[in-house]
Amino acid sequence: MLNLTLEEILSAVEGKLISQASNKLPISGVSTDTRTLSKDSLFIAIKGENHNGNLFVEDALKREASVCIVDEVYDNINYLYNKNIIKVDNTREALLKLAAYYRKKLNIKVVGVTGSTGKTSTKDIIAAILSSKFKVYKTKGNYNNEIGMPLTILNMQQGIDIAVLEMGMSNLNEIHKLAETSLPDLAVITNIGITHIENLKTRENIFKAKMEITDFFKDSNVLIVNGEDDLLKTIGETPYKVVKTGFASQNNIIGKDIKNLEHGMKFNVIINNKVDEFFIPLIGKHNIENTLLAIGVGESLGLSIEDMQRGISNLESTSMRLEIVEKNGVVIINDCYNASPTSMKAAIDVEKSLKVQRRIAVLGTMKELGDYAPKSHREIGKYAKENKIDVLITLGEYSSLYKEGYGEDIIICDSIEEIIERINNMVKPQDSILIKASRSEKFERIVHGLLEQLN
């Protein structure tokens, strides 16, 4: 992190200094968790559902934090003497304000990535493609909300050329705040699905929420969208440039002639009538959609297809997203990070493309679908049956609906332990096993259990 003075921090967060040690602040990073706090860090006390960070200020100071930002002060705690303490009205807002100030000090370009599904994979591909020419920093893990994204910005070091920042949301105005903080030069929207429809009620409202990423755009900004999406492809004339990517001929960047290979896919990329071949070490048509968006970013920043192809060799995918591992002849597809109807279908498509004897799928609950949940689980059961899933195993509150879609030969389990036992009793070499559910279901435990027990 760049050095900031106490005056800069006070001005940025619009706070009041209630205790001071020194104006010279060696700040090594920013944290909201004292368990990961290093010496000389800035601690921001966030109030969450389970913990109130204001109660941990004394602990932060014992760990030699340079400064603490709080929105509550307790009279019975003797931590104020000769320490840098800043009081603000709301530490969540202060975190966003400080990150916004810091972002403006950084001489970088920002690529913002949002969408109902595929944003993390797309972020990873963008970062890889750009890495052939630029020093790139990207969102780690799931740091894509109003706490995670500003922390990502504040922990950037000097020397970064481009930051690729993932932006998540569950309601209106959330991406607006993230865009105000990060001021993206380029933005990417992967698709408009029904994730979070429980809050937003309609896909049109989800579309509106995702488009907030452009709220601070000027004519020099670029929006890159998936032209295969029925809502995104309707974007008309705007003050800024819009690049549409996909398989249809009306898109600005077109992918066609897909070839499935043993360790990835080849396809042709058409830009301004020029055709180039491109390889990605990934499988699944959805990953070509994600890659075309990334190519749109690279092309907007002046990279050639050759530059981008070199960069893709540096691809580092976020864990638990379509990770494919093989043990003793059994292929396991670990896609436990999250689940929506769109990503469920994409994962089933990937398993369908594998050259195996038998396809097993273990599917769990898809969260945050509201009134769409029954229909969605029923449809995924039907989709699995129609797309060569030989054995479907389910767990969770919507298992009976999966059964309605798939049929009577489904296997419904009551626990993760039962799933592991069932699979161990039936699995054979040349089988594949897809494991997928929403993050809260913790289906990665199934992956770990199978990897331990497969002989």
Binding-site residues for ATP: 115-121
Residues pairing with 432 in the sheet:
331, 359
Residue bearing tokens 């304000």: 97
Q: Which two tokens stand for residue 336?
A: 């436990």
Q: In what order do the strands lie in the sheet with 67-70?
A: 16-19, 85-87, 67-70, 42-44, 30-31
Q: Which two tokens stand for residue 111?
A: 């690529």
CA atoms within 13 A on the CB side of 93: 8
DSSP per-residue letters across 4-53: --HHHHHHHHT-EEEE-S-S------EES-GGGPPTT-EEE--B-SS-BG
Q: Which residues are annotated as a binding site?
A: 115-121
DSSP per-residue letters across 310-339: HHHTT--PPTTSSEEEEETTEEEEEE-S--
Q: Phi and psi (nearest 5°) for 412? A: -105, 125
Task: Check if the beta carbon of residue 27 is closer than 8 Å to that of residue 67.
Answer: yes
Q: Which two tokens stand for residue 141?
A: 């893990």
Q: Which two tokens stand for residue 59?
A: 């602990």
Residue bearing tokens 């003050």: 239
Residues pairing with 69 in the sheet:
44, 86
Rounded to 10 deg, the angle between the 373-386 and 399-406 helix axes is 40
Residue 269's nearest CA partner among 280, 254, 279, 281 is 254
Is residue 112 within a helix (H) or strand (E), and if so which, with residue range? strand 109-114
- Rounded Cα–Cα distance for residues 432 and 427 (Å): 9
Residue 384's nearest CA partner among 433, 412, 434, 345 is 345
C-alpha distances out from residue 370 to 170, 175, 203, 395, 397, Å: 13, 21, 13, 19, 13
